[in-house]
Chain A
Amino acid sequence: MDDWQYHPAPDIDESMAEQLRNFPRQPHMLQYAIRSVAALLMRGWLKIYHRLSVSGRDNLPASGSYILVCNHTSHLDTLCMLSAVPLRNIHRTFPAAAADYFFCSLPRSAVSAILINALPFDRKLKGAESLTVCSTLLSNEGNVLIIFPEGTRTTSGKMGRFRSGIGRLVAGTDLAVVPCYLSGGLRAWPKGRMFPRPYKLRLSIGAACHYPQLQKDAESVREVCADLERRVAELGGEPHDDL
Chain B
Amino acid sequence: MNALEIEHLVKRFGAVTAVNDISLTVESGEIFGFLGPNGAGKTTTIRLITGVLTPDAGTARIQGIDIHDHPIEAKMQMGVIPESSTVYGDLSAEQNLHLSGKMYGMPRSQRDQRVEELLSRMGLSERRRSPVRTFSKGMKQRVSIACAIFHRPRVLFLDEPTSGLDVQSRRLVIDTIHKMNEEGSTIFLTTHNIEEANTLCRTVCIINKGMVVAQDSPERLKKMFETTQSVEVSFSRAVPKTLFAGEGILRVEPCGDKWRVYTDDPDRVVKYLVSRAERESLGITSLTMSGPSLEEAFVHLTECP
Whether A and B are associated in the same complex: the answer reads no
Hey, which bits of chain A sit against chain B, CB under 8 A? none
Hey, which bits of chain B sit against chain A, CB under 8 A? none
